[in-house]
A = this chain, B = another copy of it.
Amino acid sequence: MFAPYRYLIMNTNLLLKNIAKHIDLTTEEQELFISMITVQSCKSRTILLHATEICKHSYFVNSGILRSFTINDNIVEHVLNFACEGYWIGDMYSLLSQKPGNLFIEVIEEAELLLLSKENQEILYEKIPKFERFFRILTENSLVANQERLLDNLSLSAEERFEKFCSKHPQLVNKVPQKQIASYIGVTPEFFSKMKSKMLHR
């Protein structure tokens, strides 16, 4: 009588709007695509992927904030990426190779996610080749951002990297624990704290 719960609450507006920026889908194609997506609501601190696991999904963030990170020698965390509303996150290495990666994916702020499984992504490429283009463009943009961040890490001071982070990700600055921002820009939480107060007193 009723569609399953997940169809009732699944909001694909944001995702479809994002897709429409790069490719045009017919109504049928949209429906096919949506049938391949599932929703998941997650509380803060949920670990969606362990470093030892094989990544099976790409996660699109409808709301909330996630991060991906590694852990060194079982102690130090290094944040690779944050993802907030409208962004995708995953462990691309593990997703592509279907081997265990070394990234964790964690929910920072209660989130609603749309999941696209590896298998469905492959099916999608076969059935609607336009998605090759869509994910090509998405990946190109990620690569450009990553290269810039890499060069920033090689050439800017910690202060400059933090300022850049603030202007690029204003939505995150006050929502993400500051030690994670420290990790993202590549300094220890102690140094970050010192640096921040130094910047304030100027």
Contact = CB atoms under 8 A, between A and B. Distances in A.
Interface string A120-158: 000001000100110110011111101111110111000
B78 A151 contact: yes
A10 interface: no
A72 B147 CA distance: 15
A137 to B, nearest CB: 9
A186 B144 CA distance: 19
Given A72-B155, A154-B78, A155-B76, A147 B186 contact: no
Counting every copy of the chain, the complex holds 2
Interface residues of A, number: 31
Nearest to A132: B132
B151 A80 contact: yes
A141 B93 CA distance: 8
B125 A133 contact: yes
Contacts of A133: 125, 129, 132, 136
A96 interface: yes
Interface string A65-107: 0000010100010101000000000001100100000000000
Interface of A: 70, 72, 76, 78, 80, 92-93, 96, 125, 129, 132-133, 135-136, 139-144, 146-151, 153-155, 183, 186
Given A80-B151, A92-B144, 5 more contacts: A92-B140, A96-B140, A96-B144, A129-B133, A136-B139
